[in-house]
Amino acid sequence: MLLLPDTVTAALPTALRKRLSPGPDTPVGLLDYEEAAELRELLPTMGPWARFRSSRRLAAHELALWQLTAAEARQPWQAGRIPTPQGYLSRHGGYMKTPMPLPYVRGTTCRICGLYPFPLPAEVTTPGLPVGRQFAGAPFMFDPLAWFEAGLISAPVYSIIGPNGFGKSTLLRQFAINALYQGRHVMWLADAKPDGRRLCELLGDDGQVFHIGAAGGGVLNALDPGALADAVHRLGDRPDAWVLKDQLHEAQAHNVIALVSLVRRGPVADYEASVIDAAIAALYEGGRFSPTRAPILSDLIAAFDYPTEAMLANAAARSTEEFAHITQRLLQSLRALVQGSLGRAFNGQSTQRMNLDAAMIDVDLSVIPQTARDLRAAVIAITGIEAQESVRARNLLAAHGLARKTVTDIILDELWQLFEVGGSSQISTVNRITRLNRSDGTTLGTSTHTVGDYKGVSDSVHEQMQATGFISRSRVKFIGPINGSEIREQQGLIEYTDAEADLLKSWSDSGSPSRHGRRAVHDGMGRFICKWSDDPSKPGVPFRTWISPLEEQLGIHDTSAALRSELE
């Protein structure tokens, strides 16, 4: 029986030692410090029966002491949960998932004795948490923050490329589970199927699911970055509140510019961006609106009827009539935003705001029809900006001791949905999220089907290069089963050795019908090659995603339920 030594108990903080005396909140079995020390001292001199009873009391004391010590280090969303040696037990929760089993090793008795109990194949060992197995059975470990801290990559950004149905979202969920286990926040944006909602719902009150812009969905005011407004209110009269107000104004302008560019399928002119900026500033003059009482898009349109001096100057107009003529095209685009599905999604006060204390936020797009491409792309763009501003607000609150300092993992699944609508604003939206990871304290993971999804953002070669440049900025690439044409398409962006190219093509081969039954698992299912070196001669690490029995039982990765009939 392993007991904590007296030196450990005596070294506890004074405040904690005072709590060791029995009270209404004292864990069951906790003994007084002097009584526990006396029992340990007398234990060797006791008879068998007395020693047995005293050992049981000391064991209960050590467990209660462990629970009390663990309670001091709980995360905010672990309040009220019961700590156990296997993890935190609670409603909507449970123990940590089963560790990945060790690989089997076969050999003679004398040699196996020398390896036991930790045999390790001669394969690549990386930092992080286990997400899959390499060919010889060794676990493949990955965590973007762990790799960044170990110096393997220069930024915690990764990208997953592979065909539909081969496990891209399953791999993303593995990364999300590992991030939650380490106490980080997760923001799953653009959840189309949805892929992350089940995991978010299992967190209970610690998860937040967003429904925007559909039947039964909510409204997200493009002029109300809620997290920033809440942070301004909580900061009060502190000097940093004025800095946050400037960020709020910038986020409002960027949201409107992104929406206008989306409905136009083209960029916003420089003077139009300046007019939008001045019009938003005009809405706050006179105290009609404030950070906690935000305007809506209809209010912004009404501001064009009575332009201020700043609005006239930014449009280079000498009169109200000339201003109306110059901004007619911009006003038409703004009016298009308050009509139809876009108006129902963004022209109104927000019915949901991102909870800065939630362990996971999932933006569910499954309620939006696939045909509503503009609405889907708009929700992805606006919630992406909202997520980044929420992270910045939390960081500033943490600097003043008003929130817990933490790292946020942002996941952009099915990135092709944003790029297929086209427009330079979509590229700038992704760039805005990806370029400030280290300063904002975020990691970023994306997934899409092919490199062609990036190139399809526009007919402009310049914009295609901007979009595909994101692949280069992704310091880690996970490549699933792809064919020869996709390998050739990726030349110049991702380089493969001959062996890697052959392996990827073999995974994508479906095989003969006689070989695969209805329940057979495709050879390429869950298989990826991890590439993180810019040197094309250095091979990546092939592995296969591993799913624990607990994850299978909870149905976290079951995204094909709609394809099964009741007879199965």
Give the tens place of pLDDT for each residue, 346-369: 888 888 878 877 889 998 888 888
- Give the pLDDT mean for 22-43: 73
Q: What is the pLDDT of residue 324?
A: 93
Of 140 and 235, the structure prediction assigns the larger pLDDT to 140
Task: Kindly state the helix (H) or strand (E) to which residue 56 belongs, with its residue range.
Answer: helix 48-72
465-477 per-position pLDDT tens digit:
777 778 877 889 9
Mean residue pLDDT of the chain comes to 79
Q: What is the pLDDT of residue 13?
A: 52
- Would you state the pLDDT for residue 320? 93
Residue 19: per-residue pLDDT: 47
The answer to whether the CB of 159 falls within 8 A of the CB of 446 is: yes
Residue at token pair 């490199």: 451
Give every CB contact of residue 3 below 8 A, 6+ residues apart in sequence.
40, 58, 59, 62
Tell me what the mean pLDDT of segment 216-229 comes to: 79
pLDDT band at 316 (very low <50, low <70, confident <90, very high): very high
The SS3 call for residue 132 is strand
Residue 3 backbone zone (phi > 0: left; psi -120 to 50: alpha; other: beta): beta
DSSP 31-53: PPHHHHHHHHHHGGGS-HHHHHH
Q: Which of 74, 70, 75 is nearest to 185 (CA)?
A: 75
Structure-block tokens of residue 303: 């501001």
Q: What is the pLDDT of residue 65?
A: 73
Q: Which of the residue ranges 71-85, 172-186, 226-240, 389-403 would you say has the lowest mean pLDDT? A: 71-85
Of 85-89, 445-449, 475-479, the least confident: 85-89
What pLDDT shows up at residue 4? 47
Domain boundary assignment for the chain: 6-73, 75-218+357-562, 221-350
Q: What is the pLDDT of residue 568?
A: 42
* Per-residue pLDDT tens over the stretch 284-309: 888 888 877 889 999 999 999 999 99
pLDDT, tens digit, for every residue of 368-425?
A: 887 788 888 888 888 887 888 888 888 888 888 887 778 899 998 877 777 776 555 5
- The answer to whether the beta carbons of residues 532 and 475 sit under 8 Å apart is yes
Residue 10: is its pLDDT beyond 60?
no
Of these ranges, 243-257, 299-313, 499-513, 545-559, the one predicted with the greatest mean pLDDT is 299-313
Q: Which of 183, 54, 182 is nearest to 128 (CA)?
A: 182
Per-residue pLDDT tens for 130-158? 899 888 778 899 999 999 988 889 889 99
Q: Which CATH number fits domain 75-218+357-562: 3.40.50.300, 1.20.1530.20, 3.30.70.3270, 3.40.50.150?
A: 3.40.50.300
pLDDT at 323 over 70: yes
Give the SS3 label for residue 211: strand
- Which phi-psi region, left, alpha or beta, contains residue 423 (left: φ > 0; alpha: ψ -120 to 50)? left
What is the DSSP-derived secondary structure letter of residue 330?
H
DSSP category for residue 268: P
Q: What is the SS3 assignment for 129? A: strand
d(CA 430, CA 393): 19
Q: Which of 85-89, 221-225, 308-312, 550-554 has the highest mean pLDDT?
A: 308-312
Q: By mean pLDDT, which of 78-82, 109-113, 253-257, 341-345 is the weakest?
A: 78-82
Q: Which residue has the higher pLDDT, 439 or 189?
A: 189
Residue 178's nearest CA partner among 473, 407, 446 is: 407
The answer, yes or no, to whether residue 121 has pLDDT greater than 50, is yes
